[in-house]
Structure 1
């Protein structure tokens, strides 16, 4: 039995011993566009990729920095390599948390976000929770938080073809990555 997964781009990726150079945005976008939110218990297929795009849009509309916008887009990127567990299960598997945090840290570092400030991480977490609430409200008729969290823009939670999600994810990433790299060069 091997200790690697074979990614969409045919990389042998070792999730427990990840190599930065093996991280590919194409693999992340493809995998997340096919991975369902809420463990598949939504009223229709709704992907982690769509969720990530909505998180990016919420952060952008709130006027958060491009770094936070990129962090929102990539906040679930580790799931493309190790899948995800529901929150109640994840809370009871500390080893999974360790693996997930290590991989997410390496992904953030690879894409220039290894030095996120606590305030930036909090903004990403708030956006993630906001989308969680409105996704569950729309797709499962369930309110996660009371009162409902602040939302800066209406989001379309309708079912989308995975290829359109994958392409949009990569296009957003390319735009943000370019903007962030320009900002770094000018500082």
Structure 2
């Protein structure tokens, strides 16, 4: 059997040899809306798509460029094709890092972010860490950092129906890139 997964849109996707044109925003939004953060160790279901939406909102609130906002929305998109591993496990699996980095690079390239500058990447990482801290404080009663990072907007970590989160993810994506949400990329 070939090394592919079947995506929500019925594409045979080869995560170890990704083809840029096979990456669909609908597959990313659907998968991430059903995938839980923190490996499911939260007080209630909270999806990776919700996290990504909050990262987008934080980046927008900080006045970051549309490129950084889109990067924040898509920063975990590789997880929709290869899932995720907890940080302690991931640190001990360099092959996974290489696969994830390659796939995330192809995803960024697919959506016009293949040339992210170091400063833009740093902004995306800072936003991601900020949300990580507040998510863990709210959803697990365990703040990650001794000193809470500065956030520029309030975030709602309550449970949400996955279909609503999926559609919100798609709407935000469409708004950022300036297309109608029923156009497919």
Q: TM-score w.r.t. structure 2 length? A: 0.96
For the residues of structure 2 that align with 1:119 and 1:27, how far apart are their CA atoms? Answer: 28
Name 1:54's counterpart in structure 2. 54
SS at match of 1:158: coil
Residue of structure 1 in register with 2:174 after alignment: 174
- Flag structure 2 segments of 5+ consecutive residues without an equivalent: 180-185
Superposed structure 1 runs of 4+ greater than 4 Å apart = none
Q: Structure 2 CA distance, aligned partners of 1:69 and 1:97? A: 23
Q: C-alpha distance in 1, partners of 2:164/2:73? A: 16
Shift of 1:88: 0.5
Partner of 2:76: 76
TM, length-normalised to structure 1: 0.95
Deviation at 1:171, TM superposition (A): 0.3
Corresponding residue for residue 182 of structure 1:
none
Task: Please identify which structure carries the higher helix content.
Answer: 1
How many angstroms apart in 1 are the aligned matches of 2:98 and 2:177? 27
Q: Look up the match of 1:26.
A: 26
Distance in 1 between residues matched to 2:53 and 2:76, nearest whole Å? 11
Counting only pairs closer than 5 Å after superposition, residues 38-49 of structure 1 correspond to structure 2 as 38-49=38-49
**Partners of 1:89 and 1:2 in 2: CA distance:** 26
Tell me how far apart the structure 1 counterparts of residues 140 and 67 of structure 2 sit (CA, whole Å). Answer: 31
1:1-187 → structure 2 map (5 Å cutoff): 1-178=1-178
Q: CA deviation at 1:2?
A: 2.7
Q: CA deviation at 1:146?
A: 1.4
Question: C-alpha root-mean-square deviation of aligned residues, in Å?
Answer: 0.7
Distance 1:99 1:25 in 2: 20
Structure 1: stretches of 5+ with no match in the other structure: 180-187
Cα drift, residue 177 of structure 1: 1.3
Please give the secondary structure, in 2, of the residue aligned with 1:64: coil
Residue 178 of structure 2: SS of its match in structure 1?
helix
What is the distance in 1 between the residues matched to 2:116 and 2:19? Answer: 20
State the distance in 2 between where 1:68 and 1:77 align.
Answer: 14
Deviation string for 1:49-104 (max 9, x for gaps)? Answer: 00000000000000000000000000000000000000000000000000000000
Give the Cα–Cα distance (whole angstroms) in 2 for the partners of residues 146 and 116 of structure 1: 30
